[in-house]
Amino acid sequence: MNYELSAFGKNLCEGSGIGELMDDLGIALAKGGDVKMLGGGQPAHIPEVDALWRQRMQEIINEPGALERMLGNYDVSAGNLLFREALASLFQKEFGWRVTPENFAVTMGGQTAFFYLFNALAGRFQDGSRKKVMLPLLPEYIGYANQSVGEDFFEAIPASIEKTGPHEFKYRVDFDAVDPGDDIAAICVSRPTNPSGNVLTDGEIERLRDIARARGIPLIVDNAYGAPFPNVIFSDVTPVWDEGMILTLSLSKIGLPGTRTGIVVASSEVCRQVSSMTSITGLANPNIGQEIMRPLIESGAVLRLSQEVVRPFYQERSEFAQRLFHEFFDDSVPYFIHRSEGALFLWLWFEDLPIPTRELYERLKTREVLIVPGEFFFFGLPPETDWKHTRECIRVSFTMSSETVEAGIRLIAEEVTRCYRETD
């Protein structure tokens, strides 16, 4: 039986880009076989990392009472105190941050953290006014797009495009356009940027901090792929935080997506608010990820794991995938790869592509190749905006096996080349 949905219900119940992405991911993983799963944010199964999780689970099983506490006890809604103490100690020691356990709040994954933060800070206020979240570097993460309880939730600024090589480009923040008005509640960026793998420099982050500070609003930095863990950043950056910022971390991309463990680093007041939202919507957080990771945070081993295992693995995979695109495309196709500075995927721009990438996505799907069409990542623009670049980009993951990535990229190159030839 169908029931009428509220406006809030329609926003969450009637499909989304992130929902379609996750459905395709689940179907592909269930089918196995010849599906080339180059969409989604599924991290790779790195043997050394998987072995560590197996070791930690065995240690938990062998410790009297540990398994029972992990599986059988609710924890406080802010997250396990020992876990938050370990985080505070790590960031104090390694980066000199003035943090206590009260500056950390655990959530059921990073996606949940943004649902809480966005809707707490922006939307409709009691006086009838509305405020938005500013996204200063569009395209931006697909998972933000349907997070809002209300409508007209984002103000997005298109990135400046710089061609940096024969088949390479880079997005840059158009700082002349980053001018938050009274209707902006927060500035938000992902670092590395999802989908492009762009990494904002320390200087760019500092400029955004200055702008946010001057307006009395927070700068939110989505650090799901970033430093210090999982550190899927292919250059040296400095992790920064102060009470004017809200930083989010995740255990997913270091290899624990199934534990659904997100971390908010913020002022104690913001963390209390996040904890309150957790208690209302879900009572408490999953314990498993916190228990697996806590000793690695206490010892600092999480930093070594990130720097010496996780980061080199993904950097090599990125370089491998780029070589394949250059091998399978020729100069008859105007393809450009965003400079790969981090994250788990490549972002490709096919200049003047004859068809929208939503159609390209469907064509590739019939050939058992799954990518993510770029249209999903361009949201928050005025309705009258007609930026053809939004229909010319795709996101391609390189986390699957070398054989799968090579076969998938070969088919992408064939299909894209066919698109251009059909219009010649």
Q: What is the pLDDT of residues 290-330, one digit of tens each?
A: 999 999 999 999 999 999 999 999 999 999 999 999 999 99
Q: What is the pLDDT of residue 183?
A: 96
Which class for 225: exposed (0-12), middle (13-18), buried (19 or more C-beta within 10 A)?
Answer: buried
Q: List the single range of 19-28, 160-169, 214-223, 248-257 with lowest mean pLDDT.
A: 19-28
In the predicted model, is pLDDT for residue 187 greater than 90?
Answer: yes
% of the chain surpassing 70 pLDDT: 94
Give the predicted TM-score (pTM) of the model: 0.93
Going from the N-terminus, what domains does the chain have, and what CATH number goes with each?
A: 7-49+305-422 (3.90.1150.10), 75-299 (3.40.640.10)
Alpha-carbon Rg for the chain in angstroms: 21
